[in-house]
Chain A
């Protein structure tokens, strides 16, 4: 049987119970709010795993396997950083770097750091030589890492670096002339002339079309240059991250046998990149079709053949062509991976003036 409710309650008791109820509700609300806050905080500090990317042992563009590994590294770096994923790049196992690959890496890294400055962290190379190279060409500075490594190696201290976004031949010349004064006058004129033409090609044409296969592209007509002098070999590399020479040229530039094959089979034949680079340089083919245009690369070849002992290499996207002074025709090589840009390399071998006398 139910217990009968008391008809009357003491007012004080009812008031006290009401107060207890209110404080209980308030307390419960506070607890719930605190629990919600903890939950929100936990969500806000969601852990994003930092990806670790190992730089390959050898950085080179002319050796097929090493080139593939190096370009795969750059491609992954571009993909991760452009996607906003925090990435730790470890250079610990890097042992050998070539100037052409290093100038390409510096160009790519500067662009990535410019667009996604907070995504990248770095681990220094273990090799003393590589640390010296990184310091000499300003890679540590780009990464925001202080370096106390002493520059002692003879094969490192003669590296020079310049970059810009206009045809600034005086700036490039200032960088080149630090060492080029050792060259014979005529060779120096040819080298500066060729470098000026390469610079003009880069600023005027390289960025006309979209860059393939890379998410990060420079905003202006940017160029990067390395030069080096060692054992009477003067070396210059000029790099851009543009669309590449093959993209610029008409893809229909086929010789008559290819044209016949194309008509018979009904298929459109695409020339390999190296063939297009060679055509541009040896025949002066240009996309503008304007008078007196497309002479930059042929002028470079003329300068090369006037020089006693020199080599010119042009890397662009998947192709590379090498010309040697005094030897007719370029040697073409095609690779499976693209550098997504263009690098022009000169190597001038000369005798010391003192030796020559």
Chain B
């Protein structure tokens, strides 16, 4: 079983913020498209480590993690390979919430999936 650890502070930036690529270099869309999706496609387990980051908030988290289901349309099995390591329990819950909301919305729109 292959595993990839993405250390956000080291591999991306200690201060991620914002949603879309057109608005900055360290936004949720950039993180998702350049690091998260390739890792999920190539590895069995992807661990995203937020230790060392500061000031991570909802716009970045929603676009990076909610966007996996909403924009990338990744199936549930692939998203389930994602694990998050973060000191702040609130952030972990927030990430789960964004993924779950998008999964529910997709299920509501297309119950077969």
Contacts and interface: CB of A to CB of B under 8 A. Distances in A.
Report whether chain A binds chain B. yes
Contact of B17 (A167, A188, A190): A167
Interface in A289-307: 291-292, 295-296, 299
Of B14, B23, B55, B60, which is in contact with the most chain A CB atoms at under 10 Å from its CB? B55
Contact of B56 (A168, A188, A193): A193
Contacts of A170: 13-15, 26
Contact of B18 (A169, A190, A193, A291): A169
* Chain A interface residue number, banded: 20 to 34
B7 interface: no
A221 interface: yes
B20 interface: yes
Nearest to A180: B54
Interface string A187-213: 011111111110110011000000000
B23 A200 contact: yes
A173 B20 contact: no
A193 B27 CA distance: 13
Contact of B58 (A166, A167, A168, A295): A295
Given A191-B55, A200-B23, 19 more contacts: A168-B26, A169-B13, A169-B15, A169-B16, A173-B14, A173-B15, A189-B55, A192-B15, A192-B55, A194-B55, A195-B55, A196-B17, A196-B60, A199-B18, A200-B18, A200-B19, A203-B23, A204-B23, A292-B98
B23 A292 contact: no
A197 B14 contact: no
Contacts of A166: 23-25
Interface of A: 166-170, 172-173, 188-197, 199-200, 203-204, 221, 291-292, 295-296, 299
B26 to A, nearest CB: 6
B58 A204 contact: no
B57 interface: yes
Given A192-B15, A200-B19, A292-B98, A167 B54 contact: no
6 contacts: A173-B15, A189-B55, A193-B57, A200-B59, A295-B62, A296-B59
Given A167-B27, A169-B26, A292-B101, A197 B17 contact: yes
A173 B26 CA distance: 13
* Chain B interface residue number, banded: 20 to 34
A5 to B, nearest CB: 95
Contacts of A172: 15
A197 B57 contact: yes
Contact of A221 (B14, B19, B23): B23
A167 B24 contact: yes
Contacts of B98: 292
A189 B53 CA distance: 9
A166 B13 CA distance: 15
Which 9 A-B residue pairs are closest in the complex by CB-CB distance? Answer: A192-B55, A196-B17, A167-B24, A167-B18, A193-B55, A169-B17, A169-B15, A200-B18, A166-B24
B30 to A, nearest CB: 10
A167 B55 contact: no
B27 A196 contact: no
B17 A200 contact: yes
Given A169-B15, A199-B18, A200-B17, A192 B59 contact: no
B54 to A, nearest CB: 5
A200 B60 CA distance: 9
Nearest to B61: A292
A227 B58 CA distance: 24
Contacts of B66: 292
B64 to A, nearest CB: 12
Interface in B83-102: 98, 101
A197 B63 CA distance: 13
Contacts of A204: 18-20, 23
Contacts of A295: 58-59, 62
B16 to A, nearest CB: 7
Of B26, B56, B57, which is in contact with the most chain A CB atoms at under 10 Å from its CB? B57
A292 B58 contact: yes
Contacts of B54: 173, 188-189, 192-193
